[in-house]
């Protein structure tokens, strides 16, 4: 389906890939629906290589992965998507050309086509509905490819190293931006408040609460106050935020 080919081109462009080959397109080529769906990824379709057989399409490649759910039948190594892109990245660094094969959505790859591959790549799916849309499968592989590109911490936006090789799915990706991979808040560039600043807020808040007889039962104050402090401590406030909260306490107590 043209829409699937176009959507796949879009996913490739989103994740920095550019080289597509299309084998024996069912509805001829070029395809208006593919172009409509590709959006800004139209150049990938314009440059796509059209061949009559998979064999021609991968002729210049050293490493070929086949996406299939029939991995058990083929006696080929089976990699998940994450391991597959690592393997490709290593091979591309050493100068190899790599390709990933996708079958037509309803029929998948023929057995003879899978036999052209070095390994099978699988995507884990629910047994209740295992049939992935073509462009969704492409999205997952291309996303994993993007995730596998190392970017040193603190160098967001800088140029990455370029792999020497080139593959039929994979190409040069300049100026990538990656999100922080954990809950580390350092990217917020806030200046975390000092303990002294925090204690200033705590003292002011405690005094304000004393002033309005907040602690109905005096014996409970110690525990309640510890919990209030703890909730503010967990917020990991910046110096600016401490000042804001002091302003809030001051304004509300007036």
- 2-61 residues near its own copies, rule: CB under 8 A: 7, 10-11, 13-16, 39-41
Among 28, 127, 154, 218, binds its own copies (CB under 8 A): 127
Is 126 in contact with 158 (CB distance < 8 Å)? no
* Structure tokens, 221: 């104050």
Q: Are 66 and 117 in contact (CB under 8 A)?
A: yes
Among 33, 70, 82, 229, which residue interacts with its own copies (rule: CB under 8 A)? Answer: 82
212: contact with its own copies by CB under 8 A: yes
Q: Which is nearer to its own copies, 196 or 223 (CB)?
A: 223
Give the residue, chosen from 126, 152, 154, 217, that forms a contact with its own copies under the rule CB under 8 A. 126
Measured from the CB atom, the residue of 9 and 57 that comes closer to its own copies is 9
Question: Nearer Cβ to its own copies, position 59 or 185?
Answer: 185
- In degrees and rounded to multiples of 5, residue 19 shows phi and psi of -100, 115
Residue 202 as a binder of its own copies (CB under 8 A): the answer is: no
For 51, phi and psi rounded to 5 degrees? -130, 165
Query: What's the rounded Cα separation, in Å, for the pair 48 and 43?
Result: 8
Q: How would DSSP label each residue in 15-59?
A: TT----EEES-TT-SS-HHHHHHHGGGHHHHHTPEEESSHHHHTT
User: 200 and 246 in contact (C-beta within 8 Å)?
Assistant: yes
| Nearer to its own copies among residue 87 and residue 113 (C-beta) | 87
Closest approach, Cβ 200 to its own copies, in A, equals 16
112: how many CB neighbours lie within 10 A of its CB?
10
Q: Specify the residue, 57 or 169, whose C-beta has the smaller distance to its own copies.
A: 169
Q: Which of 32, 115, 185, 222 binds its own copies (CB under 8 A)?
A: 185
CA angle 126, 131, 137 (to 5 degrees): 95
Residues from 234 through 253 that contact its own copies (CB under 8 A): 234-237, 240-241, 244-245, 247-249, 251-253
Widest Cα–Cα separation across the chain: 84
Q: From CA 47, how far away is CA 19, in angstroms rounded?
A: 8
Q: Which is nearer to its own copies, 102 or 245 (CB)?
A: 245
232 binding its own copies? (CB under 8 A): yes
The count of chain residues that interact with its own copies, using the rule CB under 8 A, is 83
Q: Does 90 bind its own copies (CB under 8 A)?
A: no
> According to CB under 8 A, which one of 124, 152, 154, 218 is a site residue for its own copies?
124
Nearer to its own copies, 56 or 82 (CB): 82
By CB under 8 A, residue 79 contacts its own copies: yes
The whole-angstrom separation of Cα 102 and Cα 113 is: 10
């Amino acid at each position: 389906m043209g829409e699937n080919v176009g959507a796949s081109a879009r996913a490739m462009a989103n994740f920095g890939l550019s080289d597509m080959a299309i084998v024996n397109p069912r509805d001829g080529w070029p395809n208006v629906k593919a172009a409509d769906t590709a959006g800004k990824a139209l150049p990938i379709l314009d440059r796509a290589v059209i061949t009559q057989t998979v064999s021609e399409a991968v002729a210049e490649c050293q490493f070929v992965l086949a996406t299939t759910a029939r991995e058990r039948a083929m006696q080929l190594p089976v990699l998940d998507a994450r391991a597959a892109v690592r393997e490709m990245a290593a091979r591309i660094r050493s100068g190899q050309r790599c390709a990933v094969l996708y079958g037509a959505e309803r029929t998948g790859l023929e057995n003879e086509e899978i036999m052209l591959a070095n390994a099978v790549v699988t995507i884990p799916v629910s047994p209740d509905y295992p049939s992935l849309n073509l462009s969704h499968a492409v999205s997952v592989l291309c996303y994993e490819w993007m995730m596998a590109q190392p970017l040193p911490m603190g160098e967001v936006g800088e140029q990455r190293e370029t792999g020497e090789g080139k593959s039929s799915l994979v190409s040069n990706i300049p100026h990538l931006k990656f999100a922080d991979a954990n809950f580390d808040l350092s990217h917020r560039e806030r200046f975390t408040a000092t303990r002294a600043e925090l204690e200033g807020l705590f003292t002011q808040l405690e005094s304000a609460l004393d002033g309005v007889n907040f602690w109905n039962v005096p014996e409970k104050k110690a525990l309640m106050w510890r919990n209030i402090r703890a909730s503010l401590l967990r917020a990991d406030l910046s110096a600016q935020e401490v000042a804001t909260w002091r302003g809030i306490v001051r304004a509300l107590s007036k």
